Structure 1
C-alpha cells in the first residue's frame, strides 16, 4: 500500500470541472486476489475523498460533497475516470461510479452543474426516504429517455425480482424523484442493452 493523492475522476464542463480527489490522506494497493470486485491486478484506493468544483470564473475550488468513511474506489488502471454526462432540462448531470464491477450493485453518485454552480443530486425514493447514492446492476448501464433517468437496481441472492427505477429530475430539490418502479425477473434481462 502506498500513499496516493491523485485525482480519481473528472467531469469536464464548459463552466469548469468536477474532481474526485483525496480530502486528506489516501492510499492505493492492488486488489491482490480476483473476486467479483475485480481482478488481482486492479487498483483499490481508500481514504477520505471529496468532490470539488473548479469553476473557470472563480479561483477557489468549492467542495461539493464528502464521500462516506468506508468509501473505496476500484479501477483497472490508475488513469482518472472521465465521468459520464447527460442533461435533463437546464442541468448537466455527471455520473460517478467508484467501482467498475461488483457482486450485486454499483454504487452510483450524481452531480449537477447549472448556471456555473455544481452540487450533488440525491435520489428521493419516497418523501421521507432520500438517498445520497443508488446501486445499479453491474453491466446494465442506465438510460435517459423522454426526460427520465431509467436505472436498474442492484441484485442479491434471494431476490425474486430486480427493480427498474424511473426517475424525474426536480431542479428545485436537486433530486431524482422516483416516479415508478418496474419489477423484472433476473432471467428476463438482456444484458448490455
Structure 2
C-alpha cells in the first residue's frame, strides 16, 4: 500500500495538461539538442522500451539498476498484477551506423505495464518526419501523460506542445484511446481533470522549425 501511495503522489505531480513548466520552444534549451552519450549504451544495459524509425531506433535504457515488481494494489494506474519498473531512465537515438546520442527529457523513473516484457513504442508517420510516443504509464486516473520524439532523417528531437495557455514538454491523452495522424496533423482525445470542460479532440499542427506541436483546433 505505501508503494501505491508513492505512485499516486508521483502522478499527481505531473500536470495533466503538461502546463506546469512554461518555456520558449525557440530558445536553445538542452531539451531540443541531442548530445553524445557518456553514461550508458544500448549494449551495456537491458533496453526497457524501443521505437523503430526509418533512420534508426529510439531507445529507453535504465542508467541504474532496474527494479521490477508487481503493482499489488489495483487503482486507476493499473491492475494489481501489473508490473512496476523503476530506474533512472535515459532516452537515446541509435542510428543505422550504431552511433548513439542522448535525447534530453524531463526525468523518467517509472513505467507501468500489464506484462514483464520489452515495451514497443508507437511510431506516428507524418509527411516530412516520424514521431515516437513515450508514455511511462499505459493508463491513468484522468489522462495518460506522454512525450513525443520527432525524427527527420538523423535529426531527432523532443516536441514541445503549445496551447493558448502554455508551452509544455509533454501532453496527455485519454486512457483507452490512441494518438492519430489525420491530414498531417496530430489528433488527440485528451484526458480530463476533474471539473474541466470535456473536449472530444484536440488538433495539433507540427512546426518543425520550432520543434513544436501547436494547438490549432479544439472540438467539443
TM-score range, shorter chain: 0.7 to 0.9
Q: Distance in 2 between matches of 1:38 and 1:90?
A: 36
Contact 1:43 1:77 in 2 (8 A): yes
Matches within 5 A, 1:66-85: 66-68=105-107, 71-85=109-123
Q: In the alignment, which residue of structure 2 is the partner of 1:132?
A: 169
Identify which of structures 1 and 2 has the higher relative contact order when contacts are C-alpha pairs closer than 8 Å and 6+ apart.
Answer: 2
2:63 is aligned with 1:55: no
Q: TM-score, normalised by structure 2?
A: 0.73
User: CA shift at 1:10, angstroms?
Assistant: 0.6
Q: Distance in 2 between matches of 1:169 and 1:135?
A: 16
Q: In the alignment, which residue of structure 2 is the partner of 1:174?
A: 211
More helix by share: 2
More strand by share: 1
Could you list the per-position Cα deviations for residues 134-168 of structure 1 after superposition, in whole angstroms to 9, with x for gaps in the alignment? 01110122221111111011113323423621100
Aligned length: 177
> Residue 80 of structure 2 aligns to a residue in which SS?
coil
Task: Decide which of 99, 106, 126 is 1:88's aligned counterpart.
Answer: 126
Contact 1:105 1:153 in 2 (8 A): yes
> Residue 204 of structure 2 aligns to a residue in which SS?
strand
> Residue 24 of structure 1 aligns to a residue in which SS?
coil
2:187 is aligned with 1:150: yes
- What CA RMSD, in Å, does the superposition of the two structures yield over aligned residues? 2.0
